Chain A
Amino acid sequence: MNLRKPGLTLYGLFIVMALLAAAALLLGVAVSSILVFLLIYAALAYSINFITGMIGYVDFGHVLFMAIGSYALATLVSYFGANPLIGVGAGAMLGLVFALGIGLVILRFRGVYFAIATVVLVLAAYNIVLQLPQLGEGGEIIFNLTFQPLAPYFTIWTIVLIEIALTYYVNRSRIGFGIRAIKSEEDAASSVGVNPQRLKLIGYMLGGLFAGAAGGVYAWSTSGVTAGPAFDFTVSLLMLAMIIIGGVGTSIGPLLGAVVVYIPSYFLLTSVAQAQPLLIGLLVIIMALFLPDGIVGLLRRSNKRLRLALE
C-alpha cells in the first residue's frame, strides 16, 4: 500500500459533507428536501466517475443501474413491507450483480461500441420491465411510507461519503496508477503489470453498486417508481454532464459537477423549466471543446499551488 498522506482535498470534501449534514439537521425539512436530491445527483456522479471518469469508458446507459435500484426498493417496500434501508441495500447488491454480468460481456468492446451497447441495454431493460406484471402495471409502483426526510437524507449522505473516500483512495493508490494506464493506452497497460480486464470490471461494478444504491434512495424520496422516468436517458446524460463539468476522474469533480448542475435548477425550476438542461448542454459543449478536464482541471492548470491541492 503506497498512500501519501491525505491532502487538502480530502479534508475539504469532508468539511463540505459536514456542512451538508449540519444544514439538514439545523435548517429544517425545506432545506433537506432540496439537498437530498443534490446528494443523490452527487452519488450518481461519483458512481459514473468510476467507469467513465477514471477508466474512460463512456457509459451512456448508466441510468440502468439507478432504475434497478429504484425497482428493488419499490418492490421490497411495496410488496413485502420491508424497511427502506433494506431496499437501498438490495438496490446496491443488484446493481453490483448486474454490472458484473453485463460487464463481463460488454467491457470487451472498444470505446464507442461499449457506449452504444450500454444504450441498447437500457432500451431492452425498459421493454422487459413493462412485460413483468410483478413490477407494477405499466411499470409503476407507488407506496406510502410516513414522510421522514432525514432518513433517506442521511442514507444517501453516507453513501456519498463512502464514494468520496473510495474515489480518493483509488486515485492515490496503485490501482489509480493502473486505471490511468488503461485510460491513456489500454493495450500497453498490461505490459506494465496492470490487468485491464479486471480493473475495468471492478470500475464498472462499483459504478453499478453506487448507482443502484442511489436509485433506491431516489425511489424512497419520491414514494415510487415509474418505468418511463426510471429509464430516462436524460438522467444518464446529466450524470455525464456532472463529471465533464466538474472534472473527470477527480475526487472533487463529481461533487462540484453535481452542485453546478443541480443548484441553479432549483432556482430555474420555478421559472423556465427547460432552461437548466439547455444551459447544461451548452456548458458541456464548451467544456468538451475547450476544457476537457473540467473546472477542476482548469483550476489545477492555472496555479501551481492549486495543482497540488486539488485532486
Chain B
Amino acid sequence: MSDGLSRRSFLKLAATASAAAAIPGCEPAARKLIPYVVPDEDVIPGVPTFYATTCAECSAGCGIVARVMEGRVIKLEGNPVDPISQGAICARGQAGLQGLYNPDRLGKPNTRRADGALTVIHWDEATKLINGKLAAAAQAGKDRVAFIGVSQGPTLDKITKAWAQAFNSARVGFWEAFSDEPARAAAEACFGRRDLPIYKLDQAETIISFGADFVETWNSPVEYARQFAQFRAPKTRNGSLSIGNAAYVGPRLNSTAAKCDEWVASNPGTEGAVAMSVLNVVVSQGWASNGDAGGLKELVADYDPEKISVQTGVPADQIKRIAGWFGQAKDGAVALAGTTDPQAHLAAMILNAVTGNVGKTMIFLDETPAQPTSRPEEIKAIIEAMRDGQVDILVIAGGNPAYSMPPAYAFREASKRVGYVIWMGEVPDESAELANLLIPTHHALETWRDTNPRTGVYGLGQPVMQPVYPSRALHDILIASAHLGAGAAAQAISYENAADAINTAWQELQGKAGGGATPKQFWDDARRHGGVFQEAKPASVSLNAAALKPTIRPPAAPNGLTLWAFPHIFLYDGRGANKSWLQEIPDPVTQIVWDTWAEMHPETAAKLGLKKDYEQTRLFAGIDVIEIATPGGPIQLTATISPLIKPGVIAVPFGQGHTSYGRYAKGIGVNPFSFLPEGTHSVSVTARKTDKKYKLVTPLGNSDMLGRTIIEAMTVSDLANGVEPDFGEEKIDRPYEMYEPFVYAGHKWGMTIDVNSCTGCSACIAACYAENNVQVVGKENVDLGRIMSWIRVERYIRPADKPNDGPLIQIAPMLCQQCDHAPCEPVCPVFASHHTEEGINAQIYNRCIGTRFCENNCPYKVRRFNWYAPEFVEPLNYQLNPDVTVRGAGVMEKCTFCIQRITTAEINARTEDRKLLDGEIIPACAQACPSRAITFGDINDPNSAMIKRRTDNKGRIYTMLPEFNALPAITYLRDLYQEKGKA
C-alpha cells in the first residue's frame, strides 16, 4: 500500500491524539506519468513478457522462464520445454531473483587502500588498472596470471581460457566446493571414461542411495525429484500393485531418506563399505548377471555384512534386505552414490554394472560435454604457484574459494603472496576481503550464457532485463582487457564481447544440431525455447575388469564422536546464504531457520549431558551450547536433538558462517569448510557442554501429530486391497447445516495434493514468497511465531512407541484449505474474510481491521498477520509482483490460490469469448513443484486433471481434520509405504 503509508501514518495520529491534531500528509507517491518516447513493440505495460533463459544457481542447468513486467523480472518459473526442469523449479532457483536484486551487491568498482578500507573508483580507472596490471604480468613472464572462479558454461569458460592464454598463462581453475571428482574418478576406473552418467530413477524398481540426497542437492534435484515421484507412484509391477523400494544409506535422515522405505543409518564415511557389502550379498547370492566377472569375489571378500557391520554400524540383516531388493529387482534397479568417498561411487557403479542396469537406469551418453570444473590437483597447483610467488595477478570470479576451500589448500595465505588480487562478482564475499580491486559483474540473469549439462541439452541463457547496478559482464571485461592488454595472443579472441561469443558458438552449434533451420530461425527458436534439446543415444560401455581389483581396505570402526557436515538444502555450499528467502524457509527436516545447528541423537546428547526436555527449553530459554574441538580449532554450536540421526554423530549443515557476503549472510552460524580435512565431510571430534545457552529458532511447535488427521499414510497392500486405514477418529456423516450450502454456478477452485509425491523441497514456499510479495520477517520474529509464508511444510516424527503408524517422518504441504464452511468467515465482523462465488476464502486486506479472530478460529492455522509494516530493501522491492497488494501493518493475509492469476485468466477468457481451459490457471506453488505433487483445477469440471487425479486415486483421498466439517477444497492423497513397522 505504497501511497497508503502516508495515509496510515496520519490515521495513526488521528487514532492516538485527537482528530484535530494533524494535517493529512496524503500525497500519493506516483503522481507523474512519463510516457515512452518510442514504445517497445512487444511490451504492453501491465502485461508480463516471458523470456526463456537458464538457471545459474547450481550446475544442474535447468531451463527457466523469467516473467518480466515493465522491464523488471518479478518471477522465475520452470521452462516447460526444457528436458531437465520440465517446467518445475527448486527453491534455490526461485531465489536467484534475490541474487539479482540483492541489496548488498557491489555497485561500483572499488580499490582497497593500504589501510584496508575500500574506495570507489570510476569504471575507466578500474579497467585501466586491470589492463595495466595484466599487461605487466604478461610482460613479467609465463603463467604470472591466475584465474579461479566457477564454471559458467562451455562458451564463457572457453573465453576465460583464451583470455588467460592472451596473457600467456594457463593457470585457470574452475572451482566447485562440492566437486563431482569422486564420481568421475569412479567412472574412469569402471568404464574408462570421466563423464557423469545420467540416471533414470523412474525406470527402476529399486533405488539404493549411498549418501546421494537426490531430492535435495545431489546433481540435478529437480529432475530426480520428478523421477522419484514417478518411481514412488503406485503402479502394477510384475502382477501386483506396488511402489518402488528405496533405501538411503547415510548417517542422517534427510528428506531423501524420509521418502525412502529404509533409512540405513551408517557411520559417516562408511557408505562405501555398505555399498561393498551390498555388492557382496548380490554376488554371493548369485544375483550378479555375469557371475564372478574377473574376481568380483575377492573384491568384496572383506565386506561380508556380518563382519562389516561393526565398522558401518549397520545390522547385517538390513544390508541383506536392501541387497535382496536390489538383486531381485525384476525391472531395473539403480545405486546412486553422493559421498566424497570414491569407493562408494565405485561400488555403486559396479553394482549397477553387474546387475545389468547400465544403459537402463544408469546411462552414459556419447560425446558428453567436457568436465566443467577443474580437478583438485589443478586447483592445488595454482594455489601452490601462488604460494611460491609465481603469480602476479589473481582473478577470483565466483566460487568464493576463501570460504569454501579446505584449510589444507591454505588459499588465504597463498593469496597474500600474490601481487595483485582482483575480485569480480556480485555480492562481496570472503574472497573479496582478500582482493585489492573489486569489480562488480552482472548477475547471470543480466548476461548471455550457454549451458551444456549433458549430451543433447544445449541451454541458452539470455539477459532478461537491464542491469540493476552499473555492473559489467565478467567476460566482457575479460575480452576487452585481452584485446587491449595483450599483443599477439589477443587474436585468439576473435569476438567483440560475450554476446558475440555466444552467438558465434551457436552458429557453430547450428551446423551440428540445427537440422534444416536457417541460422536466423535457429537462433530465434533457441532464444524462444531457451535452447536446443535433442534426444541423445546411450553409449555402450562395459565394466572394466581393472576396476575389480581390491583397492581400499574397509574403514576402521569409529570411536567417539564424529562430526559430519552435509550440504544445506537451500544454502548448498553457502552461495544461498545472502538470500533472505532461503534463510527464512525452514529446513524441511529440522525446521530450523537462519542458523547452523548441531544435530544429534538423544543418546549422544545424554552423553554430553544436555537437558532431556529440550522441547520445553527450546520454547523458552534455549538450550545449552556445546563446544566441539575440531582440527580447525573449537567451534560453538547449539544442539537440536532428534532421533533422526545415527548415535555418535553430530551433523552440521554447510552454508552459514560467513564473515561477509551481505547483511543476510554475515555473522550467522559456523562454516564447516573451515575445519574439514580435504576430500571428506566427516571428521572425528570431541565435544563438551558449555554453560552458555542459545536458542535455535524454528516455527515448529510440536513434532508429534498426536494421531490427528493431518498427514495420513497407508500401506501399498491396503491400497491394493482397497482397505481404508483406520486412524481411530470417528467417521462423520454430514451433520445438520445451519446455513444453506454455497452454490457455485461457475467455477469452484480446488486442489489435489499427493502427499506421496511431496519431498518437502519447499520450492512451493519460495514460489509463493516470490509470487505474492510475502515479507521476510527475520530470525527474531520467526522466534515469536511471525513467519509469514502462506504455504508451509508440515513435518511430523512418528513417536518411538508407535512403530506401526506409518513412515518415520511425514511431510506434506499445508496451505489455506479454502473451506466451504470456512470457520474464518463468519467470525470476521467486517466481512474482510468472506466466501467468493468461486469457493475461495477471500481476505480483503484493505477491509481488514486486524481483530485476528479468523486465524484463532482456523483449524489449519494457515492465516498470517502483519505484525509490522513489511520492509523490502531497495532494490529487492523491484521484485514485487505489481498484481498483488503489498499488505500493510495490522492486516491478516493468507493463501489466495493466486487469485491474480485466476482473474487474469478469466478476463482473458471473457475478452476472447471462450471457456477457461483446464490447466490454464496454475498457482505458483503447483507450477514450481518439482515432483508435481500439487494439481489445481475446477471442482465443477469432472474432466479437470485435478478431479481426475482424485478419481484415479480413490483409495488414497482424505481431507485434513475432517471432524471440523470445514469441507476443504483441498483433497490430499495419502502417503504410501511398504509395510507396517518399517520406514
Q: Does B bind A?
A: no
B interface residues (Cβ-Cβ under 8 A, vs A) = none
